[in-house]
Amino acid sequence: MVLEALDRAVGEDAPVGTAITAAQKGQASPTMVPAARYTSPEFAAREIERMWPKVWQVACTVDHVSDPGDYFEYRVGPYSVLIVRDDDGTLRAYQNVCRHRGNALCTGAGKGLSELRCGYHRWSWDLRGRLREVPSRKGFGVLRNDDFPLFAASVDTWGPLVFVNLDPEAMPLLEYLEGAPADLEWIGFDDFRGEALVTMDVEANWKVVADGFSETYHVQGLHREMIASMDDIDAPQRVWGHASKSSQRYGVPSPRFRGGLDDQTVWDSFVITQGMRMGVAEVGPVPERAEGESLSDVIAARIRATSAEKGADLSRFDTDQMLTLHQYNLFPNSTVLVTPDLLSVLSAKPGPDPDHAEMVAIHFRRAPSADAPRSEPMTVALGGQPADLGFVLNADVSVAPAIQRGMHQPGFTHLALSGEEIRIINTHRNLERYLGIDPSDMTGGPADD
Ligand code: FES
Ligand SMILES: [Fe+2]
């Protein structure tokens, strides 16, 4: 029903354009980005060498490492970082390498560490990274413990998210995230608890995956079921530097439907795409409304009621707050999707070659308060098995291999980006900074004035 209504209502001349930053409104011609950035092994190697060891990345949730002795190994490309909660409760991170002959100290995640002991020849460090024990020490001659601490990496948190940066001298995380944390302060970010971390292989460059979560232009193409219950046009975007943002209002039809849509169609679309937020699995008649109540009010009330059943009181959030999805893109590879009742973080990491990536989806639930108890999230590595991430995300993931194949076609030398795709353009500008591409080899874009 939704699709039929769409095909009737959306014509070739549907309004386009999105309220975006002033700088991008004036794009004079498409921003052209070299496709080789998505396919070239040399480009991928340069990312590994210059970018990945220098950027803050979402590694896991606070719930993975909440108690002393908890650890979580974060891998990206060839790098492995060990995140550890030490005996004093301080989060620490180390390059995951034994200083004797290079063995990894730990793999996976777990609890109850009291030391970091290499399994090969049993050198051992305390959780603060100080060398404590070297079996048969005499054979080394003079070996001072102080000369062989673990190599520190940077670690910090934003709400329930743990970030790492391989660079021990990295700028503070809060500075890197720029305006994002203050922008989200109203929501009570610390109330969220990590529930599941799912990793899966995707046959596409990591940027193909990340780009898919950096614009809403594709909603009218790939997620047609959604635009009957989402304003994909008046979705303001904001770009700081490493961080950027888009906000989208749900529970209303896209302005692409000139003259609007009837409530039943909007309701059906919301149920199909996000019904679980209301605890509704199947489409049915639109609920009765009280005098003066909009369909949005009804949807918001149902979401609040569903959250209340799980112990989270969201009565302080109004209809607009309940139904606006805030999407933060954090350079290079993560998207934080958040409303008062839901939080998901999607990240894309490089795979073994430029045509493969690993996608990480972290789902959270809202606890009654910031000091609610924590439990260890479920951690699932699916490899190449198909994942069910829900109706909308499944579509995003399934289109990626076709895009990657397209990137290899000889005629396709450049992506042609709209000003509406400012967050993808921003990713490429940041990439150029980290990789030292100067002058830029992107062309077009804003008028020079
Ligand atoms: S490699 Fe770790 S103790 Fe030898
Ligand atoms: Fe999508």
pLDDT in tens, 254-299: 999 998 999 999 999 999 999 999 999 999 999 998 999 999 999 9
177/328 Cα distance (integer angstroms): 10
pLDDT band at 346 (very low <50, low <70, confident <90, very high): very high
Residue 118 phi, psi (nearest 5): -70, 135
Q: Which residues contact 186 (CB under 8 A, 6 or more apart)?
A: 321
CB 74 less than 6 A from any atom of ligand 1: no
Predicted local confidence at residue 25, as pLDDT: 56
The stretch 419-431 carries a mean pLDDT of 96
Tokens at residue 316, please? 């302080």
CB 125 less than 6 A from any atom of ligand 1: no
Predicted local confidence at residue 446, as pLDDT: 80
* Atom 4 of ligand 1: nearest residue by CA position: 121
DSSP 3-state percent helix, strand, coil across the chain (nearest 5):
30, 25, 40
Q: Give me ligand 2 centre to Cα 399, in Å.
A: 10
Q: pLDDT tens-digit profile of 383-398? A: 998 888 888 899 999 9
323/302 Cα distance (integer angstroms): 11
214/39 Cα distance (integer angstroms): 19
CB 71 less than 6 A from any atom of ligand 1: no
Q: Is the pLDDT of residue 440 over 50?
A: yes
Q: Ligand 1, closest atom to CA 102?
A: 1
Q: What angle do CA 192, 198, 203 make, to 5 degrees?
A: 135
183/336 Cα distance (integer angstroms): 13
pLDDT band at 5 (very low <50, low <70, confident <90, very high): very low
Q: Ligand 1, closest atom to CA 123?
A: 3
Q: Is the pLDDT of residue 403 over 90?
A: yes
User: pTM of the prediction?
Assistant: 0.93
Place of tokens 């390059």: 95
Identify the DSSP state of 117. Answer: E
Average per-residue pLDDT in the chain?
Answer: 93
428/423 Cα distance (integer angstroms): 9
Question: Which of 99, 103, 134 has most ligand 1 atoms within 8 Å of CB, for mutation?
Answer: 103
C-alpha distances (whole Å) from 334 to each of 179, 320, 348 are: 16, 25, 7
pLDDT band at 447 (very low <50, low <70, confident <90, very high): low
Contact 232, 219 (CB under 8 A): yes
64/67 Cα distance (integer angstroms): 9
227/231 Cα distance (integer angstroms): 7
Q: Give me ligand 2 centre to Cα 72, in Å.
A: 29
Backbone torsion region of residue 102, taken as left when φ is above 0, otherwise alpha when ψ lies between -120 and 50, otherwise beta = left
pLDDT band at 6 (very low <50, low <70, confident <90, very high): very low
125/73 Cα distance (integer angstroms): 16
Nearest alpha carbon to residue 362 among 320, 333, 398: 333
Lowest pLDDT segment from 23-37, 146-160, 316-330: 23-37
The stretch 28-33 carries a mean pLDDT of 95
Q: Which domains does the chain have, with CATH numbers?
A: 2-54+188-446 (3.90.380.10), 57-176 (2.102.10.10)
Contact 447, 25 (CB under 8 A): no
Predicted local confidence at residue 170, as pLDDT: 98
Backbone torsion region of residue 225, taken as left when φ is above 0, otherwise alpha when ψ lies between -120 and 50, otherwise beta = alpha
90/82 Cα distance (integer angstroms): 14
Q: How far is CA 263 from the centre of its chain?
A: 32
The stretch 208-212 carries a mean pLDDT of 98
Q: Is the pLDDT of residue 211 over 70?
A: yes
Q: pLDDT tens-digit profile of 35-90? A: 999 999 999 999 999 999 999 999 999 999 999 999 999 999 999 999 999 999 99
Q: Ligand 1, closest atom to CA 105?
A: 2
CB 157 less than 6 A from any atom of ligand 1: no
Place of tokens 């529930």: 195
99/162 Cα distance (integer angstroms): 25
- Helical ranges in 262-362 per DSSP H: 263-274, 295-309, 319-323
The CB-side HSE value for 219 (13 A sphere, CA atoms) comes to 26
Rg (CA), the chain: 24
Q: Give me ligand 2 centre to Cα 245, in Å.
A: 15
Q: Ligand 1, closest atom to CA 99?
A: 2
Share of the chain above pLDDT 70, in %: 94
| 3 state SS of 122 | coil
Q: Ligand 1, closest atom to CA 98?
A: 2
Question: Which of 82, 98, 116, 140 has most ligand 1 atoms within 8 Å of CB, for mutation?
Answer: 98
Predicted local confidence at residue 389, as pLDDT: 87
Q: Give me ligand 1 centre to Cα 103, in Å.
A: 6
Q: Is the pLDDT of residue 17 over 80?
A: no
Q: pLDDT tens-digit profile of 357-366? A: 999 999 999 9
325/12 Cα distance (integer angstroms): 27
Tokens at residue 190, please? 């610390």
| For the CA of 125, the nearest ligand | 1
356/335 Cα distance (integer angstroms): 19
The stretch 158-168 carries a mean pLDDT of 98
81/92 Cα distance (integer angstroms): 10
Predicted local confidence at residue 201, as pLDDT: 97
Predicted local confidence at residue 340, as pLDDT: 98
Contact 214, 243 (CB under 8 A): no
Predicted local confidence at residue 11, as pLDDT: 36
CB atoms within 10 A of CB 174: 12
CB 117 less than 6 A from any atom of ligand 1: no
CB 101 less than 6 A from any atom of ligand 1: yes
Q: Give me ligand 1 centre to Cα 102, in Å.
A: 6
Share of the chain above pLDDT 90, in %: 89
The CB-side HSE value for 128 (13 A sphere, CA atoms) comes to 8
Task: Please give the helix or strand (H or E) that residue 110 lies within, else none.
Answer: strand 109-110
Q: pLDDT tens-digit profile of 106-129? A: 999 999 999 999 999 999 999 999
pLDDT band at 156 (very low <50, low <70, confident <90, very high): very high
Nearest alpha carbon to residue 206 among 16, 312, 51, 2: 51
| For the CA of 137, the nearest ligand | 1
Predicted local confidence at residue 448, as pLDDT: 52
User: 439 preceded by cis ω (within 30°)?
Assistant: yes
